[in-house]
Amino acid sequence: MSAKEEILARLRKNTRETYDMPDLSQLNPITYVDPVAEFILKTTTTAGAKLIEKKPSETLNDIVQGIAKTLPSSGQGGEDFLIASNLPGIEAQLNPDTVAEAQELMAADLGVIEGRIGVAENACIWIPQQMKEKSVCFAAQQLVIVLSRDAIVNNMHEAYARIAASTEFFSQYKFGTFISGPSKTADIEGALVYGAQAARAVTVVLV
């Protein structure tokens, strides 16, 4: 028996009372007249991210390369930035499927990944692992999340229902995470710091 199993066994043995899960059938989670508009609002305010709506005449690579050229680390001509992505059509110097070690992705100025569900109530985006090294989601200095507007739901209840009903999200890798805006933390003096645990900035590209 592992240490984890031993601890759980002791907890079960010493549990005095048990309670049934609450009945959620009568729950009325929040909904919106226009979930897409609410998602855009929450993304650019509460979540602190940027949002770009892709035009029909644009390609994803055009948008990504344009974002990369604005990065502080891009240099005088913007030629020395490193993009990490495995999405088709994105010109990237690092591929999270082929790097030898996850640590290589720490050199990325920009990580480009795909979100599969957007949540209007809190601007969270569900990102199942779709690459060998998932550290691209957290190690890149800045992150671009590509999201279909058709994948936006009202609330977390709807999001989890979609996740539970999906047969593809965990078919290859057994990991997924919600990301909402850039990483940030504040101490008791109220000093807000971005990039403390993950990306310093996040841009959502709606397609």
pLDDT score of 51? 93
pLDDT score of 195? 65
Reduce the secondary structure of 20-84 to three states and give it as a string.
CCCCCCCCCCCCCCCHHHHHHHHHHCCCCCEEEECCCCCCHHHHHHHHHCCCHHHCCCCCCCCEE
85-136 pLDDT, tens per residue?
889 988 888 889 888 888 888 888 889 999 999 999 999 999 999 888 888 8
pLDDT score of 76? 45
pLDDT score of 79? 58
Average pLDDT value for residue range 17-36: 85
CATH number of 32-206: 3.40.50.10420
Per-residue pLDDT for 78 more than 60? no
What's the mean per-residue pLDDT of the chain? 86
Per-residue pLDDT for 33 more than 90? yes
Average pLDDT value for residue range 12-27: 81
The percentage of residues in the chain with a pLDDT greater than 70, rounded to a whole number, is 93
Written as six digits, the tokens of 69 are 């050229």
Name the residue among 144, 146, 77 with its Cα closest to residue 109: 144
Determine which of 12-26, 34-48, 150-164 has the lowest per-residue pLDDT on average.
12-26
160-201 pLDDT, tens per residue?
989 988 888 888 888 999 998 887 777 766 777 776 677 888
CB 144 within 8 A of CB 83: no
Written as six digits, the tokens of 23 are 């009945």
* Domain residue spans of the chain: 32-206
Residue owning tokens 């996040």: 202
